[in-house]
């Protein structure tokens, strides 16, 4: 998901202090989102998670494509 194209995803992090939102009184409306220092502190964690997903993406896709077990 490209966060720049999903303002709801960005807005969801504002109350947690990870992202700052600034709106401008313009027509058409304009809103900017920036990482706060707290949000930026997660950068290394997100990079590691991204590496993990890249390494295991095929395995994850195969697992999720399986029909649910009836056990």
pLDDT tens-digit readout, 7-60:
677 777 777 888 898 999 999 999 898 889 999 999 999 999 999 999 999 998
* Cα–Cα separations (whole angstroms), residue 31 to 5, 13, 49, 61, 67: 12, 15, 28, 35, 42
Reported pTM: 0.58
- 3 pLDDT exceeds 60? no
Confidence of residue 1 (pLDDT cuts 50, 70, 90): very low
**Which pLDDT belongs to residue 17?**
86
**Which pLDDT belongs to residue 5?**
57
């Amino acid at each position: 998901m490209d966060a720049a194209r999903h303002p709801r995803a960005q807005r969801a992090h504002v109350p947690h202090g990870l992202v700052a939102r600034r709106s401008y009184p313009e027509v058409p409306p304009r809103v900017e989102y920036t990482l706060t220092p707290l949000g930026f502190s997660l950068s290394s964690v997100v990079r590691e998670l991204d590496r993990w997903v890249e390494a295991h993406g095929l395995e994850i896709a195969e697992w999720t494509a399986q029909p649910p077990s009836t056990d």
